[in-house]
Amino acid sequence: MGNYVSQYLEDAMDRLAKYWTKPSRILLLGLDGAGKTTLLYKMKLGEAVTTIPTIGFNVETFKYKNIEFTAWDIGGQSKLRPLWRFYYEGADAVIFVIDSADRYRIDEAILELHRVFEDDALRDCKLLVLANKQDQPDCMNVEELREKLALH
């Protein structure tokens, strides 16, 4: 699994788009409240929309740089996380979304990230960690997150 930490959605999508010329399946994973659904609709519509917590999943198909992506936004509540593995088959990439302003739950996010990272079903997937909410006061910057996540 390759990895990269990004704070910009466009940079993240550029990195993913360079790997494929065929339609690709992306999983958006992360703790509840990290911003996965907002990112899903930003990717599809190009703008932020008001969202509600995801119970289950949202799925959208969109084109980026002439590549068709199908993105699955899977709910991040603790009771839903054991179900993530049922979505792994056929995934080309995982975008793991971290709320970089939520210092209280970073250890929980790290635990879940490593569970995803270590799953054999995803060994051939690209892993991108997206540091979301970089505009919030006292958020962890990309370097701080990279250190905490032990991703280099």
Task: Express each pLDDT in 117-152 by its tens digit.
Answer: 899 999 989 888 888 888 888 899 888 988 888 865
Strand 2-6, strand 126-132: pairing? parallel
State which H helix or E strand residue 106 sits in. Answer: helix 106-117
Instruction: List the binding residues for GTP.
Output: 30-37, 76, 132-135
Give residue-wise pLDDT tens across range 58-110: 999 998 888 889 999 999 999 999 999 999 999 999 999 999 999 999 999 99
User: By C-alpha distance, which of 1, 5, 2 is closest to 129?
Assistant: 5
- Please say if 136 is a catalytic residue: no
Instruction: List the binding residues.
Output: 30-37, 54, 76, 132-135
Q: Which of 61, 77, 78, 136 is catalytic?
A: 77
Instruction: List the binding residues for Mg(2+).
Output: 37, 54
- pTM score, whole prediction: 0.89
Domain annotation for the chain: domains and CATH numbers: 2-149 (3.40.50.300)
User: By C-alpha distance, which of 58, 93, 95 is closest to 73?
Assistant: 58
